[in-house]
Structure 1
Amino acid sequence: MAPSKDRQRKLARAKYERQMARRAVRERRRRRILAGVGTGLAVVLVAVGGAWIGGAFDSDRDPTTEAADVCLWSPLDKADNPERTDVGTPPGRDIPQTGTETMTISTNQGAPITVSVDVASSPCAAASFTHLAGKKFYDNTDCHEILDIGAVHCGDPSGTNNGGPLYTFYDENPPALPEPSPSAGAKPAVLYPKGTVTLFGNPAGNNGSQFLIFFKDYAPTTDAPYSIVGRVSGGLDTLAKIGKIPTVADDAGDKVKPKEKITINTLTVGADAAATAAPSASAQS
């Protein structure tokens, strides 16, 4: 047993010496920084240096003690975004990052539309939908546009394209554009097949609550402007019905406003979705 204990002591000592060496380097760096800054900044850096010496940034700390943020939610100023609603922000860490989740959208147009949300590829989008659904953010709101690219536009209670929560987040899962075909007559690739659900950022890449559901294939020719969240797994008949609703000009003169209201009665995610899907379907039959 003695050799084993000696080896353990040597390993512990070596680890301790490595820690002390790293701390000595940090202390020298801290002193050089403090020597070159003004008095005001020095006060701040002293506090940071204290954290260094205390091992706050020690790489040997147990990584399980402090999880890293998975998602970054960028806050918005309500004064600059009057159409947006403050419903807090989703958690930035300890969120699901694997598998799929079920989102159920009950509308006034028929049986519920169910969506398989790709949590593995879009964990932050999934977390945002879950957070907003828990706040009943989408309930009793209208899908205010039917776009000529073959998608219904939902998730903006203001109906202005500027509504949403008081935060934004980045694209996670935009499809990759294929290499240009050498054939002059080649058709562009379908990047958003029928049933695809994407985020809708305004401007692009600044996502919130708005989303698109494609009721026909879409093959963009220049870029892939929408980040994919998941696919419709049920309710395609309802989606097809929505896609046939005629449009009229909106206040801006664009022919995108549905002639018939498309109202989201409820939008639920996860366990709540499973609990509400069956009664919603019977209510719409």
Structure 2
Amino acid sequence: MSSLKRPLAVLAALASVALLAGCGDDDSSAGTGTDPGSSTSSSSSAPAGEGTGVSCDYPTDPQGAAKEVEPPPADATVSGQVAVTFATSLGDLKATLDADAAPCTVGSIVSLAEQGYFDDTTCHRVTTSPGFGVLQCGDPTGTGTGGPGYTIPDELEQTKDYPAGTLAMANTGAPNSGGSQFFICYTDTQLPPSYTVFGTIDEASNQLVADAAAAGTADGGPDGAPKTPIDISSVTLD
């Protein structure tokens, strides 16, 4: 896996911009279809360990794991709206994960969070072009090449657009190729509906990300490592 080696099929207006990277590679985008700040904080409605009846397939990724973890249960155990806190160097980012819209994706994010996969990781990419403002995280290597050792099925039925505050999965450009990398749209972002939207961050959290992104990239370009480092210390269920 190499950094930014998963270019997405983007809109013509963004054709010159290298796209986000997902599970093990670097292609991602975000869209939630919900207004930032509109998330509600209620815990998952299925008790831990109890199946929801949704079957998920998590095939092994031949590129291996950036950090060893167990895959999520094949029978999804998370449902409903799941309140999560990303503890970061910017402050706490409050998120609501939509397990009804994306049960397999949210099941994976919850499983990885519970195993400490995201602990002490850095968000390796920010984009600053008009109509394409995302922060990409979820790779323990901090390079845009790492994944959890398995892939996640696409869940695109409710993915339509990517307003500010959206949480979505990065992918390689191929179907069902997401892993652990995800992105936050800190502005309304123009992308095709090819990236699973799995939740939102609230308005105050989105402002923290937008303020950090306003500093630009480390090299001054429109796409690269954030000039203001953005690190995740932990991800916890509220």
> TM (normalized to structure 2)?
0.69
Matched, 1:208 2:179: yes
Which residue number in structure 1 is paired with residue 114 of structure 2?
134
Identical counterparts, % of pairs = 29
Which residue number in structure 2 is paired with residue 218 of structure 1?
189
Question: How far apart are 1:239 and its partner, in Å?
Answer: 2.0
Question: How far apart are 1:175 and its partner, in Å?
Answer: 5.1
Write the letter of the residue equivalent to 1:225: S
Question: How far apart are 1:241 and its partner, in Å?
Answer: 1.8
Q: Which of 212, 229, 234 is the aligned partner of 1:261? A: 229
Q: Which of 68, 75, 78 is the aligned partner of 1:96? A: 78
Which residue number in structure 1 is paired with residue 45 of structure 2?
none
For 1:113 and 1:94, how far apart are their aligned partners in 2? Answer: 25
Q: Which of 145, 151, 167 is the aligned partner of 2:150? A: 167
Q: Which of 87, 91, 114 is the aligned partner of 2:94? A: 114
Relative to structure 1, the CA distance from residue 126 to residue 225 in structure 2 (aligned partners, 3 Å threshold; closer, same or farther) is same
Contact 2:58 2:150 in 1 (8 A): yes
**Pairing 1:136-155 to 2, within 5 Å after superposition:** 136-148=116-128, 149-155=132-138
Larger Rg: 1
Residues 80-108 of structure 1: CA distance to partner in whole angstroms, max 9, x if unpaired? x25633311110115133x2101211111
Question: How far apart are 1:72 and its partner, in Å?
Answer: 0.4
Residues 44-83 of structure 1: CA distance to partner in whole angstroms, max 9, x if unpaired? xxxxxxxxxxxxxxxxxxxxxx996610010123xxx256
Relative to structure 1, the CA distance from residue 69 to residue 120 in structure 2 (aligned partners, 3 Å threshold; closer, same or farther) is closer
Matched, 1:75 2:60: yes
Partner secondary structure for residue 180 of structure 2: coil
Write the letter of the residue equivalent to 1:124: C
Contact 1:83 1:158 in 2 (8 A): no
For 2:222 and 2:188, how far apart are their aligned partners in 1? Answer: 22
Contact 2:162 2:189 in 1 (8 A): yes
Question: How far apart are 1:161 and its partner, in Å?
Answer: 2.1
Higher relative contact order structure (alpha carbons within 8 Å, sequence separation ≥ 6): 2
Write the letter of the residue equivalent to 2:200: R
For 1:255 and 1:207, how far apart are their aligned partners in 2? Answer: 21
Question: How far apart are 1:245 and its partner, in Å?
Answer: 2.5
Structure number having the greater helix percentage: 1
Q: Which of 233, 239, 244 is the aligned partner of 2:209? A: 239
Question: How far apart are 1:238 and its partner, in Å?
Answer: 1.4
| Count of aligned pairs between the two proteins | 183
Question: How far apart are 1:243 and its partner, in Å?
Answer: 2.3
Which residue number in structure 1 is paired with residue 197 of structure 2?
228
**What residue ranges of structure 2 are gaps of 5+ in the alignment?**
1-50
Contact 2:84 2:97 in 1 (8 A): yes
**What residue ranges of structure 1 are gaps of 5+ in the alignment?**
1-65, 178-190, 275-285
Contact 1:83 1:162 in 2 (8 A): no
Partner secondary structure for residue 73 of structure 1: coil
